[in-house]
Copies of this chain bind each other. A is one copy, B any other.
Amino acid sequence: MQLIEQGNQEAIRRMLSAEPVLIDVVPAKEIVPGLKDRMILHAGPPITWDRMCGPMQGAIAGIIVFEGWAKDLDAALDMAAAGEIEFDPNHHHDAVGPMTGMTTVSQPMLVVENKTGGNRAYCAINEGLGKVMRFGGNDQEVLNRLAWIRDVLGPGMGGALREMGGIELKPLIARGLSMGDEMHQRNVACSGLVLRAIASSMAKTSKDATALSEALAFISANDQFHLNIAMAMGKAIMDPLRDIEGSSIVTAMSRNGTEFGIRVSGTGDEWFTAPVEMPEGLYFAGYTEADANPDMGDSTIVETIGLGGFAMGASPAVAGFVGAGAASEAANYTHRMGEICASENPEWTIPAMDYLGVPTGIDIRLVVETGIVPTINTGIAHREPGVGQVGAGVVRAPMACFEQAVRRLAEKLGIS
């Protein structure tokens, strides 16, 4: 047991001492380790084509066309089904992706460097809301937007970030928490803070006024623009914890739309999976629960670092958006998540809760002991390929993942 305590102490130390900085935007083929042509990285734990959900298959068809590997969506689906595409989780390549989480060679990747750990993590740029690839959208409008992100926005942001020396994310998140963001389903404040940080530098480094105006308009109009930055940050913070002997702290939670998977510090890169649950939430006009795909995406890395559902108390406005009850009760979620965490983050505090630090370091032992599973604020995708987002809600991590992990950790430590 002392080994576990020591391991967790070290895990928390690494989490809290992380210094994540958004330093660049670089095409995936130049920077994501192990990423190859005709390879698609997806959200969640490993999964084969035949077991993938509708929106993930839809996104895959779309990204195949986007990369020019097939001429249309039908040909792309044939190609994927014929085994001509290699699939692998983002998490196996220092990367993360929201919802379907498509990462392929030509996409521009946000680069977050953890200055303390010396490691880097990657995530594609947020596409906006509605019919977008991460929610399974794949028509020409979606592909055109991805092309513009690849050709205009990505290079523009990369140039600005290099010129200005990057954006420190730890203080940005601290500010965002005082501005009503929980950084999963609400990123409006942090998206504005990112714009404030980068706009002047984008103007300084831009060669084309029209491109600049479009890029600023795109960032400005996207309330979730910061989500993907938060995700790359989460991955950069958690990766240095990936193999601490004895530690029972969760290093990743992730879903592929079929299964929910977690990784734990003391058990290294092993996934503990269980069928993913359905979010309970609110649906956009014209959609109901019958349209919803089960929970999906690597974005749960945000909860893994104490934000999202864990920081609900900072974000009373999100409680209504995800159907989590009265705004004034948002703090209850944070208190509850505190019961399954080993620590609090003294630098990420919630003013309305008298500057309580967000719950930090999910301890699988506490999850199993208390019966409280992590609460996740999530977007909801349509279950059919090609449609997009239909709502937002709250979903629980399946207890079975944590039970398996506890057993495996005990086994590894020789505890019966």
User: Which A residues lie at the B interface, using CB under 8 A?
Assistant: 175, 178-180, 188-189, 191-193, 195-197, 199-201, 203-204, 206, 209-210, 212-214, 216-217, 219-221, 316-317, 319-320, 326-328, 330, 351-355
Distance of A175 Cα from B200 Cα, bound (Å): 24
Inter-chain contacts of A191 with B (CB < 8 A): 196
Distance of A320 Cα from B354 Cα, bound (Å): 10
Distance of A19 Cα from B316 Cα, bound (Å): 27
Distance of A117 Cα from B93 Cα, bound (Å): 59
Inter-chain contacts of A203 with B (CB < 8 A): 203, 206, 209, 212-213, 216
For this chain, the copies found in one complex come to: 2
| One of B175, B180, B189, B209 near A351 (C-beta < 8 A) | B180
Q: Can you name the residue of chain B whose Cβ is closest to the Cβ of A329?
A: B354
| One of B179, B214, B327 near A188 (C-beta < 8 A) | B179
Q: How far is the CB of A318 from chain B (nearest CB, A)?
A: 9
Q: List 5 A-B contacts (CB under 8 A).
A: A180-B189, A189-B189, A200-B214, A203-B216, A327-B353
| One of B192, B200, B217, B326 near A200 (C-beta < 8 A) | B217
| One of B189, B206, B351 near A320 (C-beta < 8 A) | B351
Q: Can you name the residue of chain B whose Cβ is closest to the Cβ of A200?
A: B217
Inter-chain contacts of A219 with B (CB < 8 A): 196
Inter-chain contacts of A352 with B (CB < 8 A): 316, 327-328, 330, 352
Inter-chain contacts of A204 with B (CB < 8 A): 209-210, 213
Inter-chain contacts of A199 with B (CB < 8 A): 195, 199, 216-217, 220
Contact status A220-B197, CB under 8 Å? yes
Inter-chain contacts of A319 with B (CB < 8 A): 351
- The residue among A219, A221, A352, A355 with the most chain B CB atoms within 10 A of its own CB is A352
Distance of A274 Cα from B196 Cα, bound (Å): 41
Q: Which 8 A-B pairs have the closest CB atoms?
A: A192-B192, A200-B217, A196-B220, A203-B213, A316-B351, A200-B216, A317-B351, A204-B213
| One of B200, B214, B217, B316 near A220 (C-beta < 8 A) | B200
Distance of A326 Cα from B316 Cα, bound (Å): 18
Q: A178-B317, A199-B220, A200-B220 are in contact. List 15 more A-B contacts (CB 8 A).
A: A179-B180, A192-B192, A192-B193, A195-B220, A199-B217, A201-B213, A204-B210, A204-B213, A209-B209, A316-B351, A319-B351, A320-B351, A327-B352, A327-B353, A352-B352
Distance of A219 Cα from B203 Cα, bound (Å): 13
Distance of A212 Cα from B320 Cα, bound (Å): 38
Distance of A204 Cα from B206 Cα, bound (Å): 12
Inter-chain contacts of A179 with B (CB < 8 A): 179-180, 188-189
Contact status A196-B192, CB under 8 Å? yes
Inter-chain contacts of A220 with B (CB < 8 A): 195-197, 199-200
Distance of A351 Cα from B192 Cα, bound (Å): 19
